[in-house]
Each structure stands twice: as structure tokens, then as C-alpha cells.
């Protein structure tokens, strides 16, 4: 078990701490509730906008000393509030301007069918997101594609061959009105 020892972050419950992955940024999310103070929220807001901000600049922005700021960031990482640091790529710049959200229905929702489908999705790099959903459908997946031929290939060669899939329905994005990875933080 891990416990935060400084007062800037109040942990409610217990946080299970695992071994860090091969890179520091592969942190496990916490199932515990973390209470954030105004400085924590300011740090998280700044990091969500600019993940590569230098600690010195971040400390100045949130009115802390660099060492206190670094301790807070480390505590937020250890608590699982900061789950990862990533570079967000521009899909157009890497030749994948199209985005599709596809609803998937399985032949059955028996655990073995779901597990086989989910493992195949995990093994398919082209699928960016996969969500098990409530309602009349089973899963929602997101993927990007180069052009109409690539979209057709993905449907015929990837989606149609995922275990248990009996039906898919794709919605193609015409224009993105809003896209953010920044979560709103409670006051």
C-alpha cells in the first residue's frame, strides 16, 4: 500500500501500488478517490494543456517553489491522477485524415466471446479506442484511415474477422467541432 505523506493531496481510501512499467509514464490508474486542492488543479490544468512544460515554468505558473512543485507532480503521478504523458499526433500529418466510429454487435455476450473479441482488439494496432457499451449495441471502436480504399480494407480485412462480430455500423467523421483530452476538474 502507498500513502501520500504531504498535505497538498488528500487520499481517500487505499492506493494499490504496482511495479512501474518499462517507462515511468506507464502508471496504473487508481480506483481511489483523490481530493484535489486548488494548486493540484492548477498543476493538472497546466499539464493537460502543455505536458512538456519544464518544472521551473510550471512552478512559476502555480506559484510554488520548483521542489514543492516537483513533489506535488510526483504525488499526483503516484496516486494515479496523472495516468500517462503522451504526444498527440495530427492524423492528417501522418496520412490518416479520416476517422470512423464503429458500433459492433457480437453473436453473443458470453464471457468467452467477449474475451476473444477484446483480445483481438488489443492485438489490432489500428483500433485506437474500444468501449464496451450499454444499450442495444455491444462495443464502440474508433480508428483512423487514409482514404476510401483503406476504410474498405479495414472493414473487410479487420473488423469482419474479429471474433464474434455479426454486425458493424460505421459513422464517418465529416468535421471535428471539438476535440480535447483535457478532463474538467471539480472545484
pLDDT tens sequence across 2-57: 333 333 333 333 233 333 333 334 444 445 678 999 999 999 999 999 999 999 99
Q: How far apart are CA 65 and CA 182, in angstroms?
A: 25
Rounded Cα distance, 128 and 144, in Å: 8
Q: Can you give the CATH number for the domain in which 30 is found?
A: 1.10.10.10
Judge whether 85 lies within some domain: no
The verdict on 69 and 16 lying in the same domain is: yes
Average pLDDT score over residue span 73-96:
96
Q: Would you state the pLDDT for residue 50?
A: 95
- Residue 124: is its pLDDT beyond 80? yes
pLDDT tens digits for range 128-141: 999 999 999 999 99
Domain that holds residue 105: 98-172
Domain assignment of residue 29, yes or no: yes
Which of 91, 105, 103 lies closest to 171 in space, CA to CA?
A: 103
- Nearest Cα residue to 60 out of 49, 68, 52: 68
Mean pLDDT of 64-73: 98
Is residue 122 domain-resident? yes
pTM, two decimals, is 0.76
- Are residues 51 and 110 both part of a single domain? no
Domain tally for the chain? 2
pLDDT at residue 32 in the model: 65
Would you say residue 114 has pLDDT above 60? Answer: yes
Do 104 and 162 belong together in one domain? yes
Amino acid at each position: 500500500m502507498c500513502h501520500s505523506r504531504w498535505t497538498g493531496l488528500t487520499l481517500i481510501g487505499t492506493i494499490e501500488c504496482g511495479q512501474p512499467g518499462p517507462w515511468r509514464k506507464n502508471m496504473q490508474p487508481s480506483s481511489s478517490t483523490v481530493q484535489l486542492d486548488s494548486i493540484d488543479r492548477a498543476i493538472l490544468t497546466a499539464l493537460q494543456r502543455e505536458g512538456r512544460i519544464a518544472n521551473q515554468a510550471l512552478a512559476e505558473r502555480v506559484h510554488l517553489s520548483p521542489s514543492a512543485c516537483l513533489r506535488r507532480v510526483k504525488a499526483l503521478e503516484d496516486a494515479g491522477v496523472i495516468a500517462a504523458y503522451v504526444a498527440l499526433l495530427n492524423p492528417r500529418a501522418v496520412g490518416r485524415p479520416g476517422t470512423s466510429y464503429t458500433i459492433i454487435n457480437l453473436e453473443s455476450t458470453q464471457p468467452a466471446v467477449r474475451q476473444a473479441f477484446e483480445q483481438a482488439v488489443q492485438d489490432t494496432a489500428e483500433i485506437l479506442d474500444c468501449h464496451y457499451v450499454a444499450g442495444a449495441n455491444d462495443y464502440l471502436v474508433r480508428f483512423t484511415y487514409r482514404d476510401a480504399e483503406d476504410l474498405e480494407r479495414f472493414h473487410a480485412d479487420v473488423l469482419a474477422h474479429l471474433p464474434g462480430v455479426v454486425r458493424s455500423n460505421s459513422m464517418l467523421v465529416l468535421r471535428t467541432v471539438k476535440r480535447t483530452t483535457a478532463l474538467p476538474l471539480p472545484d
